[in-house]
């Protein structure tokens, strides 16, 4: 299942290996200690990889799900001759994939696009595979442009706080929240990043810190509960985070801890930005109360798993509440960093309506 | 250095062993997996135990420092005949002790009381030891009364969020923030506690969860960054925390993460209380900007140490900022739970002036 690690600089977290028709995923659970890629060949295995967080980050999960639907097409064509049965299988595969994680909307959006492509055109592997490739390219391209647009709000000397990992692994390449920082750095702006460690799975301490270190960008890791204190000391100029779902009213769901950052930012008058591609926008008309917030296993909090070791870090018999995401209202968000520019809520609403 | 573990129900975290004139400290670094007591016999060893967090919690550190000054008296009397030299030694010991941790004021307050006792009366071990005993008894008594007073604000069915550990180990016995919860529970009020795990040293997940579990009080552990989300869902009725220092204007220094909770509580209209004994009040006239916030070693964040194992959980080459405390302004605090009642800021100021 493993292929040879590539050099860090060429890492993309999700890609298709056309030599053996497999989906290749960077195993993000092992970062930064091991840069390992796994190959997948079925809807079921892709769904498990999403659930187990081999792949994480809303856009990367979206692209993964698109390729998952490619496997659905391959399997439908090989198993069934009747179109009706093929469609039934494709719809069941779609349900399997979107139920693997409930909060990130990209998963749903991308899987649905491939499902519709499969149903509404002559079903062929080539068609759906090309569609999946084009979605992947679109996300990469969008992230590049998020970087170019977002760079405009970064001043020389800024210290920017970010939460979780909204960098290259989370989005196939470049990142959302980190993309503007990469562009600013490439333009020789001095920029420093404060990295929330992001309990319980430590995507900040493990992945964001690793990316920034490799890119030579000045940064420091903090515990999540240190952020407000740094804000109070005037050490944070702005906050940029990614998103797992953005409603039409500008409400976002993002990694647990985002809400607390946004509230503290408001209290201290610090601008709070959300960087996101189009695939993160939920066009279904859902309200905040309709967003399903994933609750994950309490073992994630009770134990720390790292470098092939697993140790208990809490009172073992105590129960744990482990919400993976939270919901931040638009009133706390200064701007939305998109490939079309850094938008106010009203501007975002106009773009969504187009 | 170790003596036999006592049954949990009799645990006090700091006490004097008169059989061999040693100070006995519950090793809080090992909780909840090991209930182990260490014995100390010198200023230097006591100072190290405070620095290394064998003992933690502002009042428990205060009492420990008082006994540390007893060792100073013992050493001064055995080393020097001239009073001048003895006082010099006592003052040097005082400096050693108060420099072991800079943020909690109880340390300074209690060590100074013993220093003054030693200087202003005929220096005798008996005198300073009795003074240290009386300070210890006073803290225990106060915590009992904090429980009795604080219970009045707890409604039947309340869910209370707390941060770090302001329970029995932190205060010799009973606790500050937990004392009202214990009293409410003993009066058969239904009360549930949400326990912030409290990175990096996990005093909530390890110690508070253990205490509550042993006491049979319903509770759940959460990651620190989940608190605001639970508040947004209406799942938190009130917040009670301890304090490491309370200025005369009501500003408090407490475990890192307290500020963020207080800001979120304000945003959601949830009452935020601070429970504290008199020894936590800083009467020096210091301002918030004068409080020294301890920065601890970055290894505390980069590695998790638990059950005799130590594992890396972050990108090893990234730097870390590890502030141990933060500062919460009085405007975010609904009330101060003291042994004299639950006081508003104005009432607290009046009591302080007495």
In the stretch 91-150 of chain A, residues with CB closer than 8 A to chain B read none
Condensed to tens digits (0 to 9), the pLDDT of residues A31-76 reads 999 989 999 999 999 999 999 999 999 999 999 999 999 999 999 9
B126 shares a domain with B179: no
B233 shares a domain with B310: yes
- In 3D, which of A273, A270, A49, A237 has the Cα closest to residue A146? A273
The residue of chain B nearest to residue A222, with distances taken between CA atoms, is B321
In the stretch 187-206 of chain B, residues with CB closer than 8 A to chain A read 194-200, 202, 205-206
Q: CB neighbours (10 Å) of residue A13? A: 27
| Strand ranges inside chain A, DSSP E | 2-3, 14-17, 22-26, 37-40, 158-162, 191-196, 218-222, 238-241, 245-246, 252-255, 271-275, 303-306, 309-312, 325-328, 335-338, 341-343
A73-100: string of b/e by CB count within 10 Å (b at 16+)? bbbbbeeeeeeeebbebbeebbebbbeb
Instruction: Please report which confidence band the pLDDT of residue B10 belongs to, taking 50, 70 and 90 as the band edges.
Output: low
B106 shares a domain with B54: yes
Residue contact A223–B223, C-beta within 8 A: no
A87 shares a domain with A28: yes
A49 shares a domain with A85: yes
Q: Are the C-beta atoms of B240 and B181 separated by less than 8 Å?
A: yes
Q: Are the C-beta atoms of B4 and B35 separated by less than 8 Å?
A: no
Dist. CA B120–CA B87, nearest whole Å: 10
Name the strand (E) or helix (H) holding A89. helix A83-98
pLDDT(A204) > 70: yes
A115 shares a domain with A156: no
Over residues B76-102, the mean pLDDT reads: 96
In a 3-state reduction of DSSP, which class is residue B189?
coil
Residue contact A313–B323, C-beta within 8 A: no
Give A200's strand partners.
none
B136 shares a domain with B185: no
Residue at token pair 């490939």: A339
B268 shares a domain with B329: yes
* Final residue before a domain boundary, out of B89, B121, B142: B142
Count of domains in chain A? 2
Tell whether A266 lies on the interface with B, counting CB pairs under 8 A: yes
A244 is a catalytic site residue: yes
Residue contact B314–A221, C-beta within 8 A: yes
Instruction: Please report which confidence band the pLDDT of residue A172 belongs to, taking 50, 70 and 90 as the band edges.
Output: very high
Dist. CA B272–CA A214, nearest whole Å: 42
Domain of A114?
A: 3-142
- Can you read off the two tokens belonging to residue B336? 């101060």
Over residues B121-133, the mean pLDDT reads: 95
Rounded to whole angstroms, what are the CA distances from A205 to A153, A197, A199, A257?
Answer: 25, 4, 9, 14
Q: What percent of chain B has pLDDT over 70?
A: 97
> Which chain A positions have a beta carbon within 8 Å of B33's beta carbon?
312
Instruction: Please report which confidence band the pLDDT of residue B4 belongs to, taking 50, 70 and 90 as the band edges.
Output: very low
Q: Which of A224, A304, A314 sits opposite B311 (nearest CB)?
A: A304
The answer to whether the peptide bond before residue A200 is cis (omega within 30 degrees of 0) is yes
For the beta sheet containing B341-343, the strands, ordered from the edge strand earlier in sequence to the opposite edge, are: B218-222, B191-196, B158-162, B238-241, B271-275, B335-338, B341-343
Catalytic annotation, pick one of A237, A244, A282, A326? A244
A284 shares a domain with A261: yes
A170 shares a domain with A98: no
Q: Give the torsion sign (CA, A309, A311, A317, A320).
A: negative
Condensed to tens digits (0 to 9), the pLDDT of residues A75-115 reads 999 999 999 999 999 999 999 999 999 998 999 999 999 99
> What's A104's domain CATH number?
1.20.120.420
Do the strands B252-255 and B325-328 form a parallel or antiparallel pair, or are they unpaired?
Answer: antiparallel
* Final residue before a domain boundary, out of B76, B108, B142: B142
pLDDT(A306) > 90: no
Dist. CA A305–CA A310, nearest whole Å: 4
B261 shares a domain with B138: no
What are the DSSP calls for B99-122, one per residue? TS-SS-HHHHHHHHHHHHHHHHS-
* Final residue before a domain boundary, out of B142, B169, B204: B142
> What's B322's domain CATH number?
3.40.50.10470
Instruction: Please report which confidence band the pLDDT of residue B306 belongs to, taking 50, 70 and 90 as the band edges.
Output: confident
Residue contact A315–B220, C-beta within 8 A: no
| Minimal C-alpha gap between A262 and chain B (Å) | 10
Condensed to tens digits (0 to 9), the pLDDT of residues B231-264 reads 999 999 999 999 999 999 999 999 999 999 999 9
Tell whether B289 lies on the interface with A, counting CB pairs under 8 A: no
pLDDT(A231) > 70: yes
The pTM of the whole model exceeds 0.90:
yes
Q: Which of A221, A309, A322 sits opposite B301 (nearest CB)?
A: A221
A31 shares a domain with A92: yes
């Amino acid at each position: 299942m493993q292929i040879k690690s590539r050099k860090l600089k060429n890492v993309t977290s999700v890609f298709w290996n056309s030599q053996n028709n497999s989906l290749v995923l960077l195993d993000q659970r092992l970062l930064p200690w091991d840069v390992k890629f796994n190959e997948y060949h079925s809807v079921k295995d892709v769904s498990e990889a999403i659930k187990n967080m081999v792949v994480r980050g809303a856009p990367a999960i979206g692209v993964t799900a698109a390729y998952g639907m490619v496997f659905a097409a391959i399997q439908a064509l090989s198993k069934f001759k009747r179109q009706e049965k093929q469609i039934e299988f494709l719809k069941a595969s779609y349900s399997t994939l979107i139920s693997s994680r409930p909060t990130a909307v990209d998963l749903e959006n991308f899987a649905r696009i491939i499902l519709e492509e499969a149903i509404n055109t002559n079903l062929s592997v080539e068609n759906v595979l090309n569609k999946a490739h084009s979605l992947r390219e679109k996300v990469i391209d969008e992230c590049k442009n998020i970087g170019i647009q977002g760079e405009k709000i970064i001043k020389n000397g800024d210290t920017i706080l970010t939460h979780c990992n909204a960098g290259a692994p989370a989005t196939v390449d470049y990142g959302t929240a980190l993309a503007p920082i990469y562009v600013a750095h490439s333009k020789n702006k001095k920029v420093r990043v404060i990295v929330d460690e992001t309990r319980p799975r430590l995507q900040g301490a493990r992945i964001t810190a690793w990316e920034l270190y490799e890119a030579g960008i000045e940064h420091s890791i903090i515990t999540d509960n240190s952020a407000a204190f740094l804000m109070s000391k005037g050490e944070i100029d702005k906050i940029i985070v990614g998103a797992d779902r953005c409603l039409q009213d500008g409400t976002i769901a993002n990694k647990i801890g985002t809400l607390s950052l946004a509230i503290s930012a408001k209290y201290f008058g610090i601008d709070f930005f959300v960087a996101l591609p189009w695939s993160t926008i939920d066009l279904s008309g859902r309200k905040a109360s309709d967003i399903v917030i994933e609750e994950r296993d309490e073992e994630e909090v009770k134990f720390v798993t790292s470098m092939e070791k697993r140790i208990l870090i809490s009172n073992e018999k105590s129960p744990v509440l482990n919400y993976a995401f939270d919901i931040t209202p638009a009133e706390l968000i200064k701007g939305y960093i998109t490939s079309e520019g850094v938008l106010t809520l009203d501007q975002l609403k106009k773009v969504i309506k187009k």
